[in-house]
Every structure is written in C-alpha cells, then in structure tokens.
Amino acid sequence: MADFAIAPAPVPTVPVEGEAAAFPVRRILCVGQNYAAHRREMGGDDRKPPFFFTKPADAVVPPGRDPAYPSRTANLHHEIELVVAVGRPGRDVAPEQALDLVFGYAVGVDLTRRDLQAAAKEAGRPWDAAKGFDDSAPVSAIRRWSGAPPQGRIALSVNGQTRQDGQLSDMIWNVAEIVAEASRLWALAPGDLIFTGTPEGVGPLVRGDRVEGEVEGVGKLSFTVA
C-alpha cells in the first residue's frame, strides 16, 4: 500500500438508527424541483423531469451538530427532503430493481445560498457555490428499510412555525425512478446519499434559527443555525 504525501481526510459518516456502526458517506446526489408545487414556486412548470446536482460528502452535518451559517450569502434557505441511502452497487438499473439498492432512508435538509443560486442561474453558470458549501447537508440517523419506500407527511418548521408541509406522494418522480435515473448517470455505490427533492414553502434562515424537520415513518432532524 502506498504512503500518502499528506494525511488522508476522515470519511464523513452518518449514524444508523439503533446500531453502533456508522454509514460512511461516499457522495451526495440531489434531485432538483421534484415536487410540482415547489417547481412552480421556483418559476418552473410541471412537464420537465427533475434534474440532478451534487454536494461533496463532507457537506454532511450528522445529528447532534449544528451547521454554521455560510459565508458570502445574505439569503440562506432550507429545503426539507427524504434522503435515500444506497447500500448496494448498481449501474443502468431498471426502476423495478432500483429499490434493491436501498440501504435505508433519512431526513435531510438541503441548505442553499439562494442569492448565489439566482446569480448563477442568470449567468448560466454552475450551482456548486450555491449548493455544495460546507455544512450544507444536515442529515438525520439512517433508518434501515426494505420493501416499498416511505409514504406520508414531510414537514419542516423554523422556531416552531411550520414552513413546509407536504406529502411524499406529491413527488413527480418516485424513489425507484430517482434511483434508476441516477444509476444511468453515475455508477451508484454503497455510501451514496440521494436527496429526493423538497415540497413548497422553502424560505430564509438566519443565525440562531431552530429548524425541526420530520419525514413520517423515517425520523426527525433538528438543528440550530450556528
């Protein structure tokens, strides 16, 4: 085994509910505008399929740690999401087999520098700085899961006031379709996390805000913007 010129970075991890072993995060794939109402909220229409963007693995904020308010923004937004944890490799997988790749599910919040995103959209530039910054992906503990994906309520509140309140059934693409499509764009591998999109009601956060999110049957996630 070759020596490293510098010490390798630690592997980001997320706890697995009820287990001592942690889930190592390989990378984060995210689906954009996968709820019809949110698509309209962001100025789109219902006809186009969702698209993907990415976050680095070290954007993960595990439960029990508060994300820092990022630099270079005056408009940080929350987006509550169901997160798929991939436990088996797959490439070019059909939707009928896609759920076989799923290790479990978690609650996630896609934090977004909305002002930087708007500027990037206007200039036709990538969204990396708007989406893939440090501490931009708070995630709850992962719940192991087999069979049909979760169904039910997905909601987020800020300082006790509900901001987002939707149903997982409102997704334009369901979990199996998302995993299958991701496997056509990337070779999926154990450790991948897939954020599946957010319902309407995204909005701003400021320092000190208390955020609480929940996906019915999956879990809860809470943090304070540091």
The Cβ of residue 184 has, within 10 Å, a number of other Cβ atoms equal to 12
CA distances from 167 to 2, 8, 164, 203 (A): 49, 41, 10, 18
Q: Which residue has the tokens 């978690």?
A: 106
Q: pLDDT band at residue 170, thresholds of 50, 70 and 90?
A: very high
The verdict on domain 13-224 having CATH code 3.30.70.360 is no
Tell me how far apart the alpha carbons of residues 36 and 170 are, in angstroms, rounded to a whole number.
7
pLDDT digits (tens, 9 = 90+) for 83-142: 999 999 999 999 999 999 999 999 999 999 999 999 999 999 999 999 999 999 999 999
Average pLDDT, the chain: 94
Cα distance between residue 18 and residue 143, in whole Å: 8
What values do phi and psi take at 37, rounded to 5?
-65, -40
pLDDT band at 40 (very low <50, low <70, confident <90, very high): low
**Tens of pLDDT along 134-165?**
999 999 999 999 999 999 999 999 999 999 99
Q: What is the pTM of this model?
A: 0.95
What residues does 82 pair with on adjacent strands?
A: 107
